[in-house]
Chain A
Amino acid sequence: MTNSSIGNLAIRRQWIAWVVVTAFSSLSLAASAHHSVAGQFDNTKRAHLTGKITAVEWINPHTYIHLDVKDEQGAITSWRLESLPTAMMRKAGLTKEMIMGDGSPVTADAILARDGTQNVAWVMKLTYADGHYYQLAGE
């Protein structure tokens, strides 16, 4: 995956202060066992979210990670982060419980929905408070 950033585009929204969207000139997404990821998610905009995972839906064709992100005013926005099918997770030795973590803050790098659906993204990488991470899409 080519990951040549051409700069950071900070998107400021009243309801969320922790989202940073980064524009990429090229970002290939190969890791889907179903429909095209690029057909649903905009590979030119990246969200950088920090929050608490409240639920992991261990379903096919894609898993979902629900992340509550608190803004500077204390308002919480719930994100639905889509990810790999369970077979790929299992092949990598990852379980629902491992994704869920221990409740500590988690940072998610993700790309945003192409159709403008709010608070929905495809997760590229999850980084946990102790520094360990799960890379879920190509770099």
Chain B
Amino acid sequence: MHSTIHCESSARQARDGARGWALAVLLGASASLIGGPGGAADGVPRMADGHPDLSGTWDNGSGIEFVQPQKRGDSVCVVGCGPTGAAALATAATAAPAGRPSYKPEFAAKVADLSARQVETDPVLRCFSPGLPRIGPPDKIVQRANEVLFLYDDVSGNFFRIVPTDGRAHRKDVSDAYLGDAVGHWEGDTLVVETTGFNDETWLTDDGAFHTKDLRVVERLKRTADTLEWTATAYDPKVLTEPWALKTRIAHSTDQEIAEAAPCIERDLDHIVDGSHHTNPR
């Protein structure tokens, strides 16, 4: 009798187990179809709430796309390595310009002066934070249920931004900052980040593109399975004639992890004899 009960119990457990598996498979299929947690038909990983999971390390070129190293036995060619490197360099040199912010006429002279004296005036050349949007797309993203963390591995140092996505307002307990204060929300599968609270010690881009403390930057981030599209628009109506929309950047998923940035210590500017400089893209 005892044995019979045991057998019935085992059979029930087996039936329940089979139902459980069937349910799990059904739920899994449904989740996959609707883009549920853990993955979707489009290859975009998703959070439990269904939003895309932007987490990952993203290679956006960092402005050094022209570096196409070649391994030559134990030797390494880093820059200008024959046809491949030359072609990459030519491509970088002829790439479509990112465009420039359009300043009101009364600020044209200031921009021209800052640009002409960039070696003296560019904060980035003295290892200060590039600010936003000059810093470009994040190099790494860590996403949680209520916030997204942006990490940067920049020549000026490591930087981070915290982007709340739970409806919080901008902080009032922090001072104006180089990278401002961000809040985010989702528009469909696009993360929209609005940042305010900037100081006026950074530039929007090269060549004297200053801004005021009223700067507002809106970034939009959207991922596919292995790419991250980043766009940014800078609003500073005090000095700009119109919002400045940067060229869209596409970052690619990479397994090359970011690292602790080396300290940035500038020693050369006093030795620049002609004030020449080149662009400092990110």
Contact = CB atoms under 8 A, between A and B. Distances in A.
B53 to A, nearest CB: 27
Which of A63, A85, A135, A136 neighbours the largest number of chain B CB atoms within 10 Å of its CB? Answer: A135
A31 B69 CA distance: 12
A35 B67 CA distance: 17
Main secondary structure of the interface of B (DSSP, over half): loop
Interface string B85-96: 110010000000
Nearest to B265: A59
B277 interface: yes
A35 B264 contact: no
Interface residues of B, number: 46
A138 B272 CA distance: 21
A133 interface: yes
B84 to A, nearest CB: 12
Interface string B79-119: 11100011001000000000000000000000000000001
B269 interface: yes
B274 interface: yes
Contacts, number: 133
A59 B64 contact: no
B67 A32 contact: no
Interface string B249-270: 0000000000101111111110
B63 A33 contact: yes
Interface in A26-45: 30-36, 38-40
Interface string A18-60: 0000000000001111111011100000000000000000111
Contacts of A58: 262
A40 B268 contact: yes
A91 B272 contact: no
Contacts of B268: 34-35, 40, 62, 82
A94 B79 CA distance: 13
Contact of A88 (B64, B269, B274, B280): B64
Nearest to A91: B67
B80 A30 contact: yes
A33 B278 CA distance: 8
A59 to B, nearest CB: 5
Interface residues of A, number: 44
A34 B122 CA distance: 10
B273 A115 contact: yes
Interface string B55-91: 0000000111011010101111111110001100100
A30 B81 CA distance: 12
A7 to B, nearest CB: 22
A103 interface: no
B282 to A, nearest CB: 10
A35 B277 contact: yes
A9 interface: no
B69 A39 contact: no
A87 B62 contact: yes
B44 interface: no
Interface of A: 1, 30-36, 38-40, 58-64, 82, 84-94, 113-115, 117, 120, 130, 132-139
Given A31-B80, A61-B127, 6 more contacts: A31-B78, A33-B280, A38-B276, A84-B79, A86-B261, A91-B69
29 contacts: A30-B79, A31-B80, A33-B280, A35-B125, A35-B269, A35-B278, A36-B276, A38-B276, A40-B272, A58-B262, A59-B262, A59-B264, A60-B155, A60-B157, A61-B125, A61-B127, A64-B267, A84-B79, A87-B62, A89-B78, A92-B67, A92-B69, A94-B78, A114-B271, A120-B271, A132-B75, A133-B76, A134-B76, A136-B79
Interface of B: 62-64, 66-67, 69, 71, 73-81, 85-86, 89, 119, 124-125, 127, 153, 155-157, 259, 261-269, 271-278, 280
